[in-house]
Amino acid sequence: MERIDASEARDHIEMINRILAESQQRLCAGGEYFVAWGVGSAYITVLFQLANNKIVSDSALWSVPVVLVLCALFSIYRGRATRAALARSSLVQREFFNVLWLTIGLAFVSNIAVYMIFSGIASAAIWSVAEAIVLLYIGMHGNRRAQIAGVLVVASLIAANFVSRDIAGYVLGAGMLAGYAGFGISELLARE
C-alpha cells in the first residue's frame, strides 16, 4: 500500500486549491459578443438622441431594428460556431452564458415588444442595466476588467439621470461603448 507524508499531502492540497481557483476564473466571455452588442446598443442610443435633438430625421430610426437583428444574427452565428467549445465548458461558464442570454434577451424583448413603457431614453437605459448586470457578474468571478467596465456602465447610467435630456443618450452611449464594447476589445486582446 502506498503511503504519503505531510509534505506530499500539503503539496497535493495546494495543487487542488490552485486548480479549483483557476477553473473558477476561466470564464469564457467571448469578446466578440460584447463588441457587437456594445457598438450596436451605443449606435441605437446615440441615434435616438440625435433624432430627438432633430439632428437626424426620424426616418433614420428604421436602421434600429436592422442593427438589432444584425446583432442577434451575429450572436446566433457565433453561438453555432462555438458550440463545440461550449460542450467542453465548465459549469460556471455555462451559468455565465445563461446569465448573458437571459439578460440581453430580456433587454432585446423590452426594446422590441415593450416600447410603450420603455420608450425613448428608458429603452436605452434598459440596455445599460442589462450590460451592467452581465459585466458585474463576470467581475464577481475575478475578472478585474469586467469589474471596471461594469462600474463605467453604471456610472454612465447615474450620470445620464442628472444631465440634460438633450445629452442623456450620448452619456449612455458612451458608457456602452467604453464599458461593454471596451470590455469586449480588452477580452479579444487578452486572448491574443
Partner 1 sequence: MDELLLSKVRLGVVAELLSFDWIAFSELARSLDVSNGNLGAHLSKLVEAGYVDEEKSFVNRRPLTRYRLTKRGREAFAEHVSQLQSLLEAAN
How near is the Cβ of 74 to partner 1 at its closest, in Å?
A: 20
Q: Closer to partner 1 by CB, 9 or 158: give it.
A: 9
Name the residues that contact partner 1, by CB under 8 A.
Answer: 1-2, 4, 6, 9-13, 15-16, 19-20, 22-24, 84, 87-92, 94
How near is the Cβ of 5 to partner 1 at its closest, in Å?
A: 8
Exposure of 141 by Cβ count < 10 A (0-12 exposed, 13-18 middle, 19+ buried)?
A: middle
Q: Which three cell numbers stand for residue 18?
A: 490552485
Helix or strand holding residue 84 (H, E): helix 83-87
Q: Closer to partner 1 by CB, 22 or 192: give it.
A: 22
Q: Closer to partner 1 by CB, 73 or 86: give it.
A: 86
Residues with Cβ within 8 Å of 102's Cβ and at least 6 positions away in sequence, in order, are: none
How near is the Cβ of 92 to partner 1 at its closest, in Å?
A: 7
Please give the C-alpha separations between residue 21 and each of 18, 74, 150, in angstroms, as whole numbers: 5, 32, 22
How near is the Cβ of 132 to partner 1 at its closest, in Å?
A: 26
> CA torsion sign, 119 to 179 to 33 to 67?
positive
Q: Closer to partner 1 by CB, 27 or 125: give it.
A: 27
